[in-house]
Amino acid sequence: MSVELLAPAGDFDTALAAFDAGADAVYCGLGSFSARAFAKNFTPDRLRELVRVARRDGKKVYVTFNTLVDEGDMERAVRELAELDRIGPDALIVQDLGVARICRRYFPSLELHASTQLAAHNLAGVNALRSLGFRRVVPARELSAAEVEFLVKRSGGMEFECFIHGALCYSISGLCLFSAMEKGRSGNRGECAYCCRLPQSAPNGKKVFPFSMKDLRLGEDVGKLVAAGVSSLKIEGRMKSALYVASVVRWYRQMLDGRGDGPRVTPGDLETVFSRRTTELYLNGRTDTSDSPVDTESLGHLGAAIGTVKRVTRDREGRAWLRFHTARALERHDGIQVPSPDGGKPLGFGITYMRNAISRVPVFEVSAGTDVELLLPEPQGDGPDLAATIRDGAKVYCSMSNAVKRMFPVPGYRSGDYPGCTRMDVEVRLAKDSIAATAMPGGIECRLPCDLEPAQHPERTADAVRKAFSKLGDTDYALGTLKVEDPCGLFAPPRLLNDLRRDLVERLDAVREAEEGRRLSAALGDDAAPLTAAGSDDASGPRRTIRLRPEQKLPDGDWDEVVYAVDGGTDFSFLDNADAGRVRLALPVFTQESDFSKLRVAVKRLVRAGYGSWEAADLSTLSLLKECGVADITADWTLYAMNASALRQLSELGVRRFVASPENGRGNISFLAESGYDVEFLVQQSVPLFISLTRPGAEPSAESGLVVHRQSGLWITTRALPRTFDPPKGVATRVDLSWSRT
């Protein structure tokens, strides 16, 4: 089976453009519960149309339902899942474990794909997802091709969908709290404020971008993932234009198998549409190199490099001209950019007047290899004076090419060309006193009493019946097999056949809607109550817990439990004087496959030594603890148990206690406090704004208040001072110092 090329679709036109350019599948979202809430996104009716297009053309549609869901939003989420179940996309891409549980129990026809927001990065995590009903996993972007190949070969048939092109997050997906905590816009709910793109002041006065990642672009090296056995190659970009998506799709289609109708796309063509500096991230391994995946100097679209400024001159009329040797064909109305000398926003303009630099003859277009002069626009208001700002030797970029735009005409679309997606096999029986029709499967039958006369041309009856029952218009149905029983050779008027078809469709819809209503009611009434009652606090009051790293000193205080964050190391001397009955050991949130066996050995050793209370940070460490026979397990906030269904799901996996995420709003905190589950609430934490495998490209400025440090192989970004929280009265609380630099 050939590998799937999967494209983003922020709207219907972009999806059509992706299919037209050679995509095998697209992924898109509705207006809610999608990790790109600010994309145009789809209405249910538009999504239904897209699924029809895909079915007819042998393509696929995946829907992103990949945000965390508060309890207050669960009813709306369930209703939307029921709507998606009716529409029938090929799969849902899911982050929230409660959503996955609801789908598995009540909407099993919806295939589940694990979002990269679940940060699956080792075999234990992938196997845990498979046991939860996921058919495909989008692993953490930070994995190498070798790591992906290992997982593919050992995961028992799990499909893998890997990113190959597009924007990158600085933080491990699903583990970024910066936008939520600093801007009140949660990336885990699709409202990211892109804090990793924020500039900071460098000592020399210029702006730097310590956390701004280059764009992923594997190019020809996409073959390494194909060789690794991945099922799907994924392009990022649901906020991007149809032109961007189409051009990237065709470029990879050309590389994969030579397909892609129309002119061939070059890397330079892509860069005229949208271009940041690029990286292959850790495709070849996470070794320290001088080629950082962080771009500290620029932000946003540059374009395709096409030359270097020779000079800016003025003619007799005082008009300014930019002269350079172009490596790319240009035409009037193309876009040009030149970097600003101070590192700020690039200087851009459209070509309004162009001439050959040698002859000074005005032209509409020039070919590559030409010395050209472009008329610079006059300054407008407070805008820059380009003639005074552009320096000799500066690079010139083509930031928009009309020739590239013409490569991708807007695809045509007529809804009538695409039948419904539900196959309807029909048997029609003609008798002198009636016409009857039965739809299969299900045996739904309609009968229309009437008086039929003998047909003058009985051989045409079957064709007439087929014509009538093919008129399914905007219904969800498409005619499959048709069997006509007409032993008496009767004439069936088209009007009666059309009435019978409409009656049959209405009956089918009624039966289906009743079944859908039953499933929706069951899902809305889902019993997600705790498996066991929450443990009661003793007479001294609610439990007080503190979490530390082993090297940190235990602060004075009356702590009921001390949680130590450990990894797969061998030095556990800090436990020599600890009270094992008061200690809980917390496992790391990211353990690469090569280190997981060491972590397993350490856990087994400590369990044998009598440490029976543990804390899991992800599905892989939860699975490891169950494998080691641990019964007393806490789920850290990184498992995001934010609704009753997620709490129940993790309870069924063996979790007895939960730590509330710092992302929770007041309403959800109240729900968790009253849920009947044993939940601890933060009162103080050096919140990890970024948890990353990538070293920042520069140190954050002192004015920013941010600090970065290395911890268990990860780069942690926090505030210099911890954040305090206001939990409800009478609940179990936690102080978490484990993420702080000191």
State the pLDDT at residue 13.
96
Of residues 568 and 138, more confidently modeled: 138
Report residue 202's pLDDT band, with 50, 70 and 90 as the boundaries: confident
Q: How confident is the model at residue 480 (pLDDT cuts 50, 70, 90)?
A: very high
CB-based contacts of 7, cutoff 8 Å, min separation 6:
15, 18, 21, 23, 25, 26, 27, 235, 245, 248, 249
Residues 6+ apart with CB under 8 A from 646: 96, 97, 98, 101, 640
pLDDT of the residue at 571: 84
Averaged pLDDT for residues 514-536: 89
List all residues 6 or more positions away from 543 whose beta carbon is below 8 Å from its beta carbon.
537, 560, 561, 680, 732, 733
297 — pLDDT class (breaks 50, 70, 90) = confident
- pLDDT in the model for residue 693: 96
Q: How far apart are the C-alpha atoms of 209 and 651, rounded to whole Å?
A: 42
Residue 509 has pLDDT above 90, yes or no: yes
Span 569-594, average pLDDT: 90
Q: Tell me the two tokens of residue 297.
A: 């100097």
pLDDT band at 290 (very low <50, low <70, confident <90, very high): low
Q: What is the pLDDT of residue 41?
A: 81
The predicted model gives 484-494 an average pLDDT of 96
Quick check: 6 pLDDT over 90? yes
The H or E element spanning position 331 is: strand 330-331
Q: Are 657 and 678 in contact (CB under 8 A)?
A: yes
More confident residue, 34 or 599: 599
* Residue 440, pLDDT above cutoff 90: no
The pLDDT value recorded for residue 25 is 98
Q: 338 exposed, middle or buried (CB, 10 Å; 0-12, 13-18, 19+)?
A: buried
Per-residue pLDDT at 1 exceeds 70 = no
Under CATH, which architecture does the 304-406 domain have?
A: Beta Barrel (2.40)
Over residues 542-565, mean pLDDT: 94
Residue range 615-642: mean pLDDT, rounded = 98
Q: Which residues contact 58 (CB under 8 A, 6 or more apart)?
A: none
Backbone φ and ψ for 309, nearest 5 degrees, come out as -60, 125
Express each pLDDT in 20-42 by its tens digit.
Answer: 999 999 999 998 898 776 667 89
Mean pLDDT score, 171-189: 94
pLDDT > 90: percent of the chain: 86
What φ, ψ does residue 388 adopt, rounded to 5°? -85, -15
Residue 703 has pLDDT above 60, yes or no: yes
pTM over 0.85: yes
pLDDT bucket at 537, cuts 50 / 70 / 90? low
Each residue's pLDDT tens digit, 425-435: 999 999 999 99
Q: Which among 615, 620, 638, 622 is positioned nearest to 151, based on CA atoms?
A: 620
Q: Is the pLDDT of residue 570 over 80?
A: no
Residue 201 pLDDT grade (very low, low, confident, very high; cuts 50, 70, 90): confident
**HSE (side-chain half, CA atoms, 13 Å) at 639:** 33
Every domain of the chain with CATH number 3.20.20.380 lies at 4-168+214-279, 544-687+722-736
* pLDDT > 90? residue 286: no
pLDDT score, position 607: 95
Q: Mean pLDDT in the chain? A: 94
Which residues, listed in sequence order, are joined to residue 13 by a DSSP beta bridge? none
Return the beta strands (E) in 144-238 as ranges: 159-166, 200-201, 207-208, 215-217, 232-235
> Please, are residues 67 and 160 in contact by the beta-carbon 8 Å criterion?
no
Instruction: Work out the percent of the chain whose per-residue pLDDT is above 70.
Output: 98
In this prediction, residue 109 carries a pLDDT of: 96
* 8 A C-beta contact, residue 234 and residue 163: yes
- Please provide the CATH number assigned to the domain covering 4-168+214-279: 3.20.20.380
CATH code of 544-687+722-736, in short, is 3.20.20.380
